[in-house]
Amino acid sequence: MKRKACIVLPTYNEAENIEIVVRRIFEQQKKIPTHDLCILVVDDNSPDGTQSIVGILMKQYRALFLLTGQKKGLGDAYKRGMKYAIAKLSPNLIFEMDADGQHDVKLILDDQVFSQT
């Protein structure tokens, strides 16, 4: 049985980026034999429709989850996301990434990360 790695993606007004980032992350799954990836989008009630896009994507990706809440800043979103992931998704490994495309999803494939978990 594979272990689980959860990527926490805080979002606020990321409608332009979220689909691209989610698809790129899940494309990496086939290159990771040791862990199943899941993504937890933590959206702070974005007015631009980010949540709606994530909702549509959740129909395609069973390992995509959405947590919503009030905008209290990036740090709070990460804390809420990690707390939720630990309690509800039971990952063996948690990553945090920005949803704006600044983090290269190919870095998820670092052999040292997955070989030590």
Q: Which domain does 15 fall in, by range?
A: 3-115
Q: How far apart, in whole angstroms, are the C-alpha atoms of residue 50 and residue 81?
A: 16
Summarize the confidence of residues 65-79 as an average pLDDT.
94
Residue 53, exposed/middle/buried by CB under 10 A (0-12, 13-18, 19+)?
A: buried
Q: What angle in degrees, to the nearest 10, is found between the helix axes of 18-27 and 50-60?
A: 30
Total domains in the chain come to: 1
Residue 104 maps to which CATH number? 3.90.550.10
The one-letter amino acid at 42: V
Question: What pLDDT sits at residue 106?
Answer: 72
Task: Quote the percentage of the chain above a pLDDT of 70.
Answer: 91
pLDDT grade, residue 100 (50/70/90)? confident
